Amino acid sequence: MNILRLAPFALCATFFAMTAPAQTIQVSKENRTIAITATDKVIVLADIATLHIGFIAYGPDSDSAYAAGSRSSNAIVKALTTAGVPNDSIESENQNVSPVQEYQVDKLTPAEKAQRKFQVTQSWTVRTNANDAAKVLDLAVKAGANQSGQIDWSLKDENAPQSEAASKALQRARTVAAEMAKSLNTNLGALLYASNETQAEPPSPVVMRAMPAARTAQKVEPLAINPRRIEKTATVYAVFAIE
């Protein structure tokens, strides 16, 4: 919790008794104050998208599966970098070579099972502008990223909407305090103390799994993906003097 004191220390000492970590208000005839807790929010469109992309490749043995995985891995990264995605925006998440479990192929024919004895999986996160999310996902999928689709949305500047939400909450507190002072036949004075706690609503990710690779002979447009809205909420505790 960030604490902002807006009055001289002498004035604060007149009206408050500080205890750590909470703030305690002394109740007396001399303590002419109004304390308000108010909450407000700001909703903005995400401008950063973090895509989770990956693939799964199979083979009749470990070496064959690894070779197939290597081809897919390099094809995906090459498609992204060739399109202008910076290398430092592509980060590895995990990679694995393992035998295929029987339950994973129990509905396949014997011939299909023979070709799926081993599997290679790999995944990355790709950070890009929110408006480019659909294009980057499309590039990856068409290059072989058949286990892709989750998108985490965020903001380049987290502080600006947080500050705006806190400012709106403080203004709401001032408005309520002014109405209370009016009902007491007095005037609202200066802000003596304020604290705020800003929280972010976690955005729900867009999730898709096991996407089939696009056919190269068919022109397929990118998916229609729009950035999510991100909500920042601030709760302000404010103490005002009354005259």
Cβ contact 118:10 at 8 Å: no
pLDDT recorded at residue 196: 84
Q: What is the CATH number of the domain that holds 58?
A: 3.30.70.2970
Q: What is the CATH number of the domain that holds 29?
A: 3.30.110
Measured CA angle at 75 (ends 53, 70), to 5 deg: 90
pLDDT recorded at residue 208: 44
Q: State whether 66 and 12 are in the same domain.
A: no
220 confidence band (pLDDT: 50, 70, 90): confident
Residue 164 located in a structural domain: yes
- Per-residue pLDDT tens over the stretch 6-52: 333 223 323 333 333 445 555 455 678 999 999 999 999 999 999 99
Domain boundary residue, one of 126, 154, 182: 154
CB atoms < 10 A from the CB of 203, how many? Answer: 16
Q: State whether 137 and 166 are in the same domain.
A: no
pLDDT recorded at residue 217: 53
Percent of the chain whose predicted confidence (pLDDT) is above 90: 75
76 by Cβ neighbours in 10 Å (0-12 / 13-18 / 19+) ranks as buried
For residue 100 the two structure tokens come to: 């295929």
CB atoms < 10 A from the CB of 30, how many? Answer: 8
On the CB side of 37, CA atoms within 13 Å amount to 3
pLDDT recorded at residue 219: 84
CB atoms < 10 A from the CB of 122, how many? Answer: 23
Q: b/e map of 166-194 (b: 16 or more CB within 10 Å)?
A: bebbbebbbebbbebbeeeeeebeebbbb
* DSSP3 helix / strand / coil % (the chain, rounded to 5): 30, 35, 30
How far is CA 159 from each of CA 5, 42, 55, 115, rounded to the nearest angstrom? Answer: 20, 12, 36, 52
What range defines the domain where residue 8 resides? 2-45+157-201+233-242
